[in-house]
A = this chain, B = another copy of it.
Amino acid sequence: MIVDAYTHILPKKYQEGLEKKATRRDIGLNSARYAKTVPTLIDLEARFHVMDAFKEYIQVISVAAPPIYSIASPKVSLELTRIVNDELAELVFKYPERFAGGIASLPMTDPKEAIKEAERAIRDLRLRAVEIYTDVSGKPLDSPEFIPLYEKMVELNRPIFIHPFREMTTPDYPGEKISKYRVWTKLGWPYATALAMTRLVYGGIMERLPGLQVVTHHCGGLIPYLAGRID
C-alpha cells in the first residue's frame, strides 16, 4: 500500500470561510487561486477519480497553503482553523478507504490557542499530526514563543509537519517587486525548508526536545544534498 503522507485539500466550509472572512487574502497570489485551478483540492469526486488510477493508494490529508493566519486576524484564523480541523476529521471518518489520517492546522499567531487546538485536534478529533509553516509571519521556528507548542507535541507523541512558506511577493533581487520565473516556489520552498530545519537544530530546539518528531516536505528541502556543508 502507498500512503501519500503529505496531500493537500481545501474542505468546503473552510474554503467558504476563506472567501468570506480572510480579508488579507491577496487574490493575485498563486495560493489564492488553488481552489479554482486545482479542482482536486475542493472536489472530492475529482480527487477520488485521480486516486483510482493508483492501486492500493491512500492519503494523509492536510490543508492547502497559504497558512490561514497569514491572511486573517488571529480571531478569524482560530475560527477557521477549528472549522477545517473538524472537516478533516469528518473526511477521515467518512472515507477510511481514501484517507488514512488528517494533519491539523494551527492558529500560530496565537501560540496559546495553537497549543489548545493541537491538543483538541490530536486527542478529540484523532488527527495524526499538526502542520506548521517554515516561519510564522516572518518569525523563525526557534523563536521562544513556539517552544511550548513543541513541548506539547512531544507530550502528545505526534509529529509536526513543516510546510514551506514563501509567495511570489518575495523578490529574489532587491530592485525587483516579485520573484520571477516561479523561483519563489521552485527553489525558494526547498530553501525555506532548509532554513527552518537549521533553526530547529542550531537554535537548540532538537537538543532541548530530543523527542520532537519533525516531517518536512520535498525530501527535507536542501538538507540531504547540502548536509556536508552544514555539518
Contacts and interface: CB of A to CB of B under 8 A. Distances in A.
A186 B226 contact: yes
Contacts of A190: 222, 226, 229
Contact of A195 (B172, B199, B225): B172
A46 B173 CA distance: 39
Q: Which of A173, A175, A183, A199 has the most CB of B within 10 A?
A: A173
A135 B140 CA distance: 26
Nearest to A135: B173
A28 interface: no
B186 A229 contact: yes
A99 interface: no
Interface residues of A, number: 27
A198 interface: yes
How many copies the complex holds: the figure is: 2
Interface in A181-231: 181, 183, 186-187, 190-191, 194-195, 198-199, 202-203, 222, 225-226, 229-230
Contacts of A139: 173, 175
A144 interface: no
Closest 10 CB pairs of A and B: A225-B225, A181-B202, A138-B174, A186-B230, A140-B173, A186-B229, A191-B191, A172-B195, A187-B194, A183-B198
Interface of A: 135, 138-140, 172-176, 180-181, 183, 186-187, 190-191, 194-195, 198-199, 202-203, 222, 225-226, 229-230
